[in-house]
Amino acid sequence: MHVTKILSVLFLLLLGLLSACSKDESSSSAGAKSAPAEVSAGEEIYKKNCKVCHAQSINGAPIPGNKSMWEPRAQKGVDVLVQHASEGFGLMPPKGGNVDLTESELRQAIEYMIAQMQ
Ligand code: HEC
């Protein structure tokens, strides 16, 4: 009886130590985690600049999440797609009409759209 009591006290102590440790860990990394990571930069750029055509396939713009529309585009490689989005491609205006977008912003938006395929 005595031994089990001591053991359970030790067990509780151990639990206390463990939770103290994990608390430390979470508070030290809280800074990195607190950034609003729900919406990626690519998604943000897409919503502001690309969605107006791409969500509804205006003039045939490929819809994110539509595999048969995106697969043949994705096969060209992201570099080519970034170049096409930057210079314009068919009925796609250069940079979707926002000349302020950088190539890296275009890339992020394109990677976001491609990632919607699965
Ligand atoms: C004014 C409408 C419009 C906007 C805004 C628009 N697109 Fe497009 N986009 C199109 C159309 C139309 C096509 C299909 C062009 C074709 O295949 O002839 C297209 C095709 C593309 C393609 C495929 C190019 C290829 O080589 O197959 C990419 C990549 C793309 N758009 C990226 C973007 C990005 C990134 C944005 C936002 C920054 C954007 N688009 C905004 C109309 C638009």
Residue nearest to atom 28 of ligand 1 (CA): 85
Report whether residue 77 contacts ligand 1, using a CB cutoff of 6 Å: no
Q: Is 89 helix (H, G, I), strand (E, B) or coil?
A: strand
- Cβ–Cβ < 8 Å for 53, 96: yes
CB 27 within 8 A of CB 9: no
Compute, in angstroms, the gap from residue 14 CA to the centroid of ligand 1: 58
pLDDT digits (tens, 9 = 90+) for 23-46: 444 444 444 555 555 799 999 999
How many C-beta atoms lie closer than 10 Å to residue 106's C-beta? 25
- pTM for the model: 0.77
- The closest residue, in CA terms, to atom 14 on ligand 1 is 61
For 92-108, the pLDDT digits (tens) are 999 999 999 999 999 99
Model pLDDT, residue 53:
98
Question: What domains are there in the chain, each with its CATH number?
Answer: 41-115 (1.10.760.10)
Structure tokens at 19: 């939770």
Q: What is the dihedral of CA 18, 20, 25, 26, to 10 degrees?
A: 110
Q: 34-66: buried (b, 16+ CB within 10 Å) or exposed (e) per residue?
A: eeeeeeeebbebbeebbbebbeeeeeebbbbee
